[in-house]
Structure 1
Amino acid sequence: MWSRAAKARSARSGWSFGRGSLLVALLALQYASLSFCRLPLLHRRTRLARHASFDRERLNNEATFAEGLVRSFEGFFQPDEPQLSPEEQEAQDRQQASSEATAQALQSLRLNVQAGEDDEGLPLLRAAPVSVLQSKAKQSVVIFAVPVGKEQLITDVLLSMRIEAKGFSERNVLVAPAIVDLTSRRLVELPPNIRASKLLRQKPIALPLETSGEETATWGEVLSAEFEEAELQGTNEVMEMGLAVIVGREGDILRRGFGRPSWKVVFSETDVE
């Protein structure tokens, strides 16, 4: 807000004199001459006072004008949301439905999580439903899936996890790597070199359960549907770079993307309040 002009100061009043003595008369005459000499100064102060009054009115008008500009700019920088076309609205509704279907299907599926080590230092695994990991252990899950032939991408993700190990424990985040055969729509077992790697023994790693044929098929269906949805959205790179789905502690899908996950983004999305 523009500041207003300061009020013009009023001129000081002159002295007053009485009558009855020569001295007083002389002083009066002298004062008269001094007062005459000060007339230009008084006129100047009068003009200044009038000018100050004019400035105050001008500044008030400028302040009103400036305030109007600010309001117009506020409207300019907060435009109304554009209306979606029927095709865009249909795509948005489909994406929302796909996200909700994935979140619902994952609740009943299980992951092998680490529960200590055996005598040889190998991790002990136990199966736990995704819903239990979220509701009881308050864990978020990042699913990283690749098509057959892109297994090296999983090794890259495992390496990147080791660098950010502290963040996973602080945010209580699990990572579930998976390979999908998009033709048969089923999970594929991790290759021997990855299964034997120490990288797979990192505590945040949780593997989709493979002992049940029906459950393996469900995992394959869910992840195949995610690849299809990515392609429908025009994300063709997903076939070369894989995809990541971040599932929050409340069971909702926080983010979906292609390529190796940015752990800074994951930690930001799953940060514990």
Structure 2
Amino acid sequence: MPAVEAEIEKWNPSIVIGVGLADNRAMACMERVALNVADFPIPDNEDYMALNETLDEEGPAAYFSTLPIRACVKALRESGIPSRVSNTAGNFAHRHSLPVYMDGARVLNAAVALDMDPAVLCEKVDVVSLCLSKGLACPIGSILMGPKDVIARARVMRQMLGGGWRQGGVVAAAGIVGLNNYKRLAEDHAHAQALAAGLKELGLGIDMAQVQTNVVRIDTAPVGLTAKQFVEKLDGFGVKAKPVGPAYVRMICHNDLKDEMIPVVLKAVQDCLNA
């Protein structure tokens, strides 16, 4: 694609991210099927317009998603994100031999919440990263999974960027424990539900439909405080939280948060609001 290559040469970016946008869609569209045909109403960057061309002569006419598409749409809608099922040709990237990367920082949380095998969530991507410290309670580390040639290049880039770790076994040991016990994330999700319900009773803005994993998003506007004011006051009562906007605060439930701690947090929030 000469036009894209020219822009890359001009700006010399550190990374290029391609985002497919459709000007006739105003919501998230979950694709049910990927057609084995290229047929587009507009030309590509080389001014070529494919019309009814088979992409894989030996492949089936279409590939149907194995994901629970309607359940995904329902979950998005309940979270306040406009969404619908799409029966148009999906998997554009794969159909044009473009690799797909997933930032899987919390993919295990998603797998537990959806009661799905993580492999199913990742089967349509080429490369996926997984953070071992987010949710899995490891002190440090992430892993990258993908084809051998990609991992080989990633190892070289890691060394170039100073990412080598001589005593890597110490980190790996914690990662193995976390991965073998990832289903305990359900406990964090249950704690998040209990915490969110309690915060809502105290008058804070909580959309319970959005509390699906271990993340609780809190709207402080109903209690007349900005996020910064709320966090600073709450810190004085021994609880730390993170502002993520002028009137929004985020709390994360993790491995070290036990059942008996939820009432303690809620009492601190109550005292903070009454102070």
Shorter-chain TM-score tier: under 0.3
Q: Which has the higher helix share?
A: 1
- Which of these two proteins has the greater Rg computed from alpha carbons? 1
Alignment TM-score, normalising by the size of structure 2: 0.18
Alignment TM-score, normalising by the size of structure 1: 0.18
- Greater relative contact order, per chain length (Cα 8 Å cut-off, separation 6+): 1
